Structure 1
Amino acid sequence: MDLLSEVVRAVRVGSPGSRVVRQYDFQGVRFSAFDGTGFHVVLSGTCWLISEGQEPVGLKPGDAVLITSGAPHGLSHVPCALNDLPSMSMRTTPPRSEPSDFEFLCGVYQLQHGHTPQYLRTLPDLITVSLDYDRYPQTRALIDLLSTDTSEADMGTAATLPALLDLILVHVFRQWHEQRGSAEWPRTDDPEIAAALREIHQNPQRKWTVARLSEMVGLPRTVFARRFTEEVGRPPMSYLISWRLSLGAQLLRETDVTLATIAREVGYSTEFAFSGAFTREYGVSPGRFRRSPATLVPPVD
Structure 2
Amino acid sequence: MSRFRDILDEQERAEAAAYQSDESILAMMRQDFSDAELVEAQITRHERELVRLFRMRDLTALSAWHIPIRTCGFIHAAKHTRSQVAYFHNHDCYELILAMHGTCIQRFLDPDSTLTLSQGDACLNAPGTVHAIEPIDSDQIILKIMIAPSVFDQTFAPILRETERSESFSGHAPCIRVFRHCSDLTAGLARMLTVETSDRPAHWRNTASAYCSLIAVELARNAAGECTTFSALAHSLERYVRSDPAHADLAGFARMLGYSEDYAGRLVRESTGRTFRDLTGTLRMEIAASRLLDTDDTVASIARAVGYDNRSGFHKRFLSVYGLTPSEYRSMFRM
How does the TM-score come out when normalised to structure 2?
0.31
Greater C-alpha Rg: 2
How does the TM-score come out when normalised to structure 1?
0.34
Give the number of the structure with larger relative contact order, counting CA–CA contacts within 8 Å between residues 6 or more apart.
Answer: 1
**Structure with greater proportional helix content:** 2
